[in-house]
Amino acid sequence: MPVHPIEMRYGRGEMREIFELEARYQRMLDVEAALAKALGKVGVIPKKSAAKIATKASTKYVKVARIFKLEQKVQHETMAVVLALAEASGDAGRYVHFGATSNDILDTATTLQIRDAIAIVERDMRKLLGITLKQAAKHKNTIMVGRTHGQHAVPTTLGLKFAIWACELARHIERLEQLKPRILVGKMSGAVGTGAAWGSKGPKIQELVMNDLKLSSAFASNQILQRDRFAELVSLLGLLASTIDKIANEVRNLQRTEIGEVEEPFGARQVGSSTMPQKRNPIRCEKICGLARILRANVQAALENITIEHERDLTNSSCERVLLPECFLLTDEILRTACDVLERLVVHPERMERNLQLTRGLNMAEAVMIELTKRGMNRQVAHSVVRNCSMRAIEKNLSLKDALLREPKVKKYLSEKDIDALTNPKRYLGSAVATVERVVRELKPIHRK
């Protein structure tokens, strides 16, 4: 039975397949095949033997069960793969893994997994960006309360929220593009990175192997690829998860019963509580927020993996067996869930309108202060006057308009008609709509790439 939730609850099949054991062994065999072909090309081993090894470097011939049995005997995973491939290769088996070290195979195979995994992540990042842009355009005029410190501030639009999220997602896509040349790198340099077993042919062998696998070559390495590469990748996944966490947290807060401005989709037969039949809990967003905590915590482990003793030790190995599959599967789950929530988000403009009127105009105090300043009042004086009117409105349960009309210093500059206009939230959106339109226009090409 499954133990870890990523085995049956989190992450889609296409991502899980990349990290299944047979798939990992196949990538290790792919690297062994590329090595054999390279050795044949430079004349280190017979070309006929190289071709035989390459043909047999498949889980069709090298069975997982056989690798398991050999590993129990030799207590070394890579050596078990090597022995199983050698068995399948007949006489050519004598040349399997010639001159290589375990991490030539392991690290390069891991990079192949990462390449396939980030292709899925990037696809879904662009999909999520597209959804946020669509919602930004749709709701560019959907006016709502802006909130700072949990308190009502000046008005904003739902579209501007989405535009801000879209900009952040676009930056993560840019970061991923910048990361690819640093992470899609393999190595084939022998025991401590000198390639001594191949003599002067070492650099050419690495070049041929990486060209075959469509990876870049590490400029210099010891026995492993340096883990700053993997740490940067996991950090990016942590950043991405944190952005989506922020989005999900906002949806959760706006779904609160006393706010009720948006809500995540709720299925026709979905149950919110085992005892309270009325509940419509934001479980999808809560799941995102919870999983994001794990991804952020994993960044610490990835950073600690950078430190090794001398040319290598095994401290990173066991950690990464958990770390990389978990990070990608949880990122996959977060992205899938976020796409679903934001694409089918339920919006309640009528609740937004009601909440805009909740403070009876107090959220428009800034607009009044600015207009008083424009009409000749000292800005600092205007701030003090409007503040006093606001405090009086709160204490005496008045609207801001009523409090302003009772203040002679205000009436000197503003008529009742002026105050009505100034306390209309729809007239105080500044460049919000134009900003949304610019964001949508500028970021659409990134979404469509």
**pLDDT at 239 > cutoff 80:** yes
> Do residues 261 and 224 touch, judged by C-beta distance below 8 A?
no
Whether 449 shows a pLDDT value over 80: the answer reads no
Return the pLDDT at 2. Answer: 80
Q: How far is CA 63 from CA 17, 67, 200, 255, in A?
A: 17, 6, 35, 52
Tokens of 153: 């501030």
- Mean pLDDT for 161-183 is 97
Note the pLDDT of residue 7. Answer: 84
- Note the pLDDT of residue 122: 97
CA distances from 309 to 133, 303, 305 (A): 47, 15, 11
What integer pLDDT is reported at residue 95 of this predicted model?
97
Dihedral, CA of residue 21, residue 25, residue 26 and residue 31, to nearest 10? 150
* C-alpha to C-alpha distance for 107 and 23, rounded to whole angstroms: 15
Q: What is the per-residue pLDDT for 195?
A: 94
6 pLDDT tier (thresholds 50, 70, 90): confident
Q: How confident is the model at residue 172 (pLDDT cuts 50, 70, 90)?
A: very high
Query: CA 71 to CA 73: how far, in whole Å?
Result: 5
Write down the pLDDT at residue 447: 72
Are the beta carbons of 326 and 294 closer than 8 angstroms? yes
DSSP code string of 202-238: HHHHHHHHHHHHT-EEPSS-SSS--THHHHHHHHHHH
Residue 341 has pLDDT above 90, yes or no: yes
Q: What share of the chain is helix, strand, coil (3-state, %, to 5)?
A: 70, 5, 25
Which residues, listed in sequence order, are joined to residue 160 by a DSSP beta bridge?
Answer: none
In this predicted structure, what is the pLDDT of residue 240?
98
For residue range 112-133, what is the model confidence (pLDDT) as tens digits?
999 999 999 999 999 999 999 9
pLDDT digits (tens, 9 = 90+) for 284-337: 999 999 999 999 999 999 999 999 999 999 899 999 999 999 999 999 999 999
Supply the mean pLDDT for the chain.
96
Q: What is the pTM of this model?
A: 0.95
Active centre residues (catalytic): 149, 273
Provide the 8-state DSSP code for 196.
Answer: G
The average pLDDT across 410-439 equals 96
| Whole-number pLDDT of residue 167 | 98
What is the per-residue pLDDT across 8-66, written as a single tens digit (0 to 9) for each? 899 999 999 999 999 999 999 999 999 999 999 999 999 999 999 999 999 999 999 99
**Residue 440: pLDDT band by 50, 70, 90 thresholds?**
very high
Residue count of the chain, please give it: 449
Instruction: Tell me what pLDDT residue 129 has.
Output: 97
pLDDT at residue 198 tops 90: yes
- Domains annotated for the chain, with CATH where assigned, are 11-95 (1.10.275.10), 104-134+158-265+279-355 (1.20.200.10), 358-427 (1.10.40.30)
| Run of H or E residues at 347 | strand 346-347
At residue 48, the pLDDT reads 97
Mean pLDDT, to the nearest integer, of 95-109? 97
Q: Rounded to whole angstroms, how far apart are CA atoms 107 and 31?
A: 10
